Amino acid sequence: MKSPLFKDISPIKRRRFLKVLGAALASPSIPLMLKHDAMSLVMGEAYAQAVPANTPTYFMEINLRDQWDFGHVFVSPGLATHTNLRRGPTGRRAALFYNNLSQQRRNFYLTEHSMELEPHLDDIACCEMFELSVGRIHGHEAANATRSPGRGYSGGNGRMAMFEQEPSYTEQGNEPHFSSTPTPAALHNYWQKQLGQGAFRNGVAFKGISRFHNVYHFGAGLPGAELDRSQNVQDLLDRFPDEVRDLNVLASAEEADTVARILKSLDARFFQKYGYTAGAKERHEQNLVEVQQLLYSGQTETISLPLTDEEQAYWSAGVPPQVGQNVKANIWEQVAYGYKLLSSGMSRTYAVEFDYVDVHDQRTEDQMRVMARQTVLPLTRLIESFKNAGMWDRTMIAIYSLDGGRSPAASSYGNEGKNTVILAGGMIEGGYYGDISVAGDNGDGHNYRYHVPTIANGAQTNAVETNGNRVPGAAIWKTVQKGLGVPSTVYDQFADVQGVGSLDWMLKS
């Protein structure tokens, strides 16, 4: 039985109206459950139940190179609580220099360099126990198993060169890898196009590394999966010129009146039903005003990518500059452009590439502080901005350390100890998963022990001191795709991920 609201529209106009409503509800600013409720009012609950699987999602992939260390972002509980931890910049001492350490919910320990993340910990997951990088120069590589499981040095049997799509490729520190599994942003870009909802552009990778290192983005032959590569800011701006949008999108008063009644029906009962905050209710009421203006004003708006002075001040405040000789865009600038692209609906997929010039033999307090602030401040502002835009429930941010993350020992390299992925999003079950503890003293520092979570439930396995027994890269790769709403029939088709489960304890049910 059709809804009374739907029957108010003449049959000949219903197909067009559903297209218009679907496009409107695909906007990043419409929360997922409000879309569900709107469609249930129009078409009934059975129809609405099919909506979430076809709902657009938004993905920002932040790729960090040169053995990025998140030690001052999240301190492992085992190290945070160890008595007489030997800390310092060289040898086997732990490269931790914080003055203030704060125990937080969900197994997090924050330093004075990461406290801005505290309000958002329920939506942030960190695990450092993934299989290590394999680059022949102490772990350096441009892919990582967390981004393309099974990548390796042999082609054939469906395995294609990952490096051929990357401009200015050199082998040093990048590794000539082959794979049959697409990287996360490429697969998300592909799937969003399959949904066919709304007008948006191809996903973009900003090639923002300051030297010869690279990041592979790989579509694995899927049609339309490959990201556009932007080498500099001007190229990015040229790809997305100012866009004038007609706000008066409905063709008749009949349609406009029906949409208005649908949205007005999504009142406080729905917010109570789904546990939305008072602030969300206020934003919804403001959305109703804006929708009325969209339906009746006849005005236009201009979507412009260049950052205003106010935006530059907001995104840049306190973020250390890139440490490099060929700076294309600082990390705050890269993520600011990404936010504007995704929140405006101009694109749904965006990848950042950034580096901290390779550090050998030691890690100093300044190095750890800079890497922490370059991670924490952009991430905090992204979360706050996506929340304010009303699109957090459909947005994921994934941060990868492509070269591995080293052990806590100051003089270690990326082929020892840990390999970190941080996920943030409305669908993410926050927590620090796994642990690192002290196995015993060694010279001026320690040997370290790694507590690896199981795929099934996240419970920690027996601790190991070796580099083996880590969580397969395929597990976190699947988790990202599942969280982004990609169907299992799509992400399970690749040989290198079959038979490995996703980390469902990282996702909200």
What is the Cβ-side half-sphere exposure of residue 438, based on CA atoms within 13 angstroms? 17
Neighbouring CB atoms inside 10 A of 112's CB total 13
Same domain as 366, residue 502: yes
Same domain as 357, residue 310: yes
Domain boundary among 301, 317, 333: 301
Task: Locate all alpha helices (DSSP H) within 266-401, ordered by sequence.
Answer: 268-274, 278-296, 309-316, 331-343, 365-388
Below-70 pLDDT ranges, the chain: 1-27, 29-53, 245-300
Residue 460 has a pLDDT of: 85
Cα 366 → chain centroid: 26
Q: Is 316 domain-assigned? A: yes
Same domain as 186, residue 161: yes
Least Cα distance to 20 among 214, 259, 244 occurs for 259
Give the structural domain span for 273: 4-55+252-301
End-to-end CA distance of the chain: 30
Same domain as 227, residue 124: yes
Q: Is 293 domain-assigned? A: yes
Same domain as 292, residue 321: no
Angle at 104 between CA 82 and CA 70, to 5 degrees: 65
Q: How do residues 139-197 score in pLDDT, each as one tens digit?
A: 999 999 999 999 999 999 899 999 998 988 899 889 999 999 999 999 999 999 999 77
Looking up tokens 């503890």 gives: 437
Residue 4 has a pLDDT of: 47
Same domain as 488, residue 377: yes
Residue 290 has a pLDDT of: 58
Same domain as 330, residue 363: yes
